[in-house]
Amino acid sequence: MIYLILPRGNNFGWGVCGKYLVKEISDITDVKYITESFGVEDIGDEYEFHFLKSKLLSDEDANEINSDLKRRVSGPVLQAIGNHTLTPWGPEIKGTFKAGYTFFEENILRQEYIQNGKENFDIVITGSTWCEDVLRDHGLDNVATVIQGVDQQVFNTHHSEKEIFKDKFVIFSGGKFEIRKGQDIVIKAYKVLQDRHKDVMLVNAWFNMWGDSMGTMAASPYIKYDVKSKDYATAMNGILNDNGLDTGRIVTLLPRSNALMAKIYKNTDIGFFTNRCEGGTNLVLMEYMACGKPVIASNNSGHRDVINKDNSIMIKNMKKIDINKNGKRVAIWDDPDLDETICHLEWAYQHRDELELYGSQAGNDLKELTWKRSAEQFVEIIGGIRQKKQTDNQYCTE
């Protein structure tokens, strides 16, 4: 029995990750799921909704846990970690041992955060080797990496050829609109291509429900950022128009269930991911590549666990930039070179036949990265630590 304390949802990274881990780990061992209350609309699918509900901790079990002053359960716990502070997401529950799962982008960490990791968890499991390296560099040794998976039933290479806009060169860009995701670089580079070629289009899936996060784009050196409406689509198209983009050749997507994105991906020509930092492997990038579609992507942080010279067009030239919050430096990120980015985009436009080779390799590579594989790695790590702890305790009592 493993107790899973994870977010749930259908249109943001952590929610998708939590949903799939519950499904796949429950195929390997019994689980009890602890999360926020949710309805069908939060999951986006009645079938998955009823499945997840069936795995929830019962009221009887919850009462039993709450009646224990130590809030302890008789099994291991896998719990999401909220952010770089390495504190647990959700209720404070102790188990026979505890594993935490984390993604973060602030890579200048206080020692008190590292101490949080040591005190709260027997092991911290990261979503990228970049995050693991950051933690090890700061003195946390009980670390491992498990990268996310892709739902192969949804995101696959079957029927991946475009069915609409066949006469256009369609560029896709996804991820919530913020300075870290680098959509300002996308806008600047796309503007160059738009002015050169009349048959280019941009499809953007940039919805951001967090105003503070979206507001970080005001720091961009490349674009004008002025939000003129509370309506997302109106505001986004206003920003694009302010920066000289022809919104008649742009599709601005509203939030939709993760599973509905495959059709969007397959009806575009190339994915454009100019991210400055990714604590995970960028689930949107992975799902896009799994559809057998080529990408231009920044070769930094978590992207490096997924992309290579054969399955992607890599933006290699980077400039280190300091990220400050409340007057303090909290991170050092890699800023993709704009000129190289524009060059790659123009090359892709001029060499569409060669793009198919990148897309084919991407599809093959991503077939190996499944949620089942992720679940097996979690169970293996948790089982190995549990065995080691039991052995250590045995030696201590002999």
The dihedral sign for the CA sequence 9, 13, 19, 22: negative
Phi first, then psi, for residue 174 (nearest 5°) are: -130, 170
3-state secondary structure the chain: CEEEECCCCCCCHHHHHHHHHHHHHCCCCCEEEECCCCCHHHHCCHHHHHHHHHHECCHHHHHHHHHCCCCECCCCEEEEECCCCCCECCCCCECCCEEEEECCCCCCCCHHHHHHHHHHCCEEEECCHHHHHHHHHCCCCCEEECCCCECCCCCCCCCCCCCCCCCCEEEEEECCCCCCCCHHHHHHHHHHHHHHCCCEEEEEECCCCCHHHHHHHHHCCCCCCCCCCCCHHHHHHHHHHHCCCCHHHEEECCCCCHHHHHHHHHCCCEEEECCCCCCCCCHHHHHHHHCCCCEEEECCHHHHHCCCCCCCEEECCEEEEEEEECCEEEEEEEEECHHHHHHHHHHHHHCHHHHHHHHHHHHHHHCCCEHHHHHHHHHHHHHHHHHHHHHHHHHHHC
Assess contact for 219 and 235: CB atoms under 8 A.
no
Query: Could you read off the pLDDT of 78-98 as tens digits, one per residue?
Result: 999 989 999 999 999 999 999
Query: Could you read off the pLDDT of 327-379 as tens digits, one per residue?
Result: 999 999 999 999 999 999 999 999 999 999 999 999 999 999 999 999 999 99
Two tokens, residue 208: 């951001």
Q: Check residue 10 and give its pLDDT.
A: 82
Give the C-alpha separation, 272 to 254, whole Å. 18
Question: Which candidate, 95, 88, 81, 87, places its Cα nearest to that of 32?
Answer: 95
**How large is the average pLDDT for residues 230-252?**
97
> How far is the first Cα of the chain from the last one, in angstroms, to the nearest whole number?
28
pLDDT of residue 212 exceeding 60: yes
Query: Could you read off the pLDDT of 129-149 as tens digits, one per residue?
Result: 999 999 999 999 999 999 999
pLDDT of residue 316 exceeding 60: yes
Query: Could you read off the pLDDT of 248-293 as tens digits, one per residue?
Result: 999 999 998 888 999 999 999 999 999 999 999 999 999 999 999 9
Domains in the chain (CATH in brackets) are 2-149+371-397 (3.40.50), 169-366 (3.40.50.2000)
Give the C-alpha separation, 181 to 163, whole Å. 28
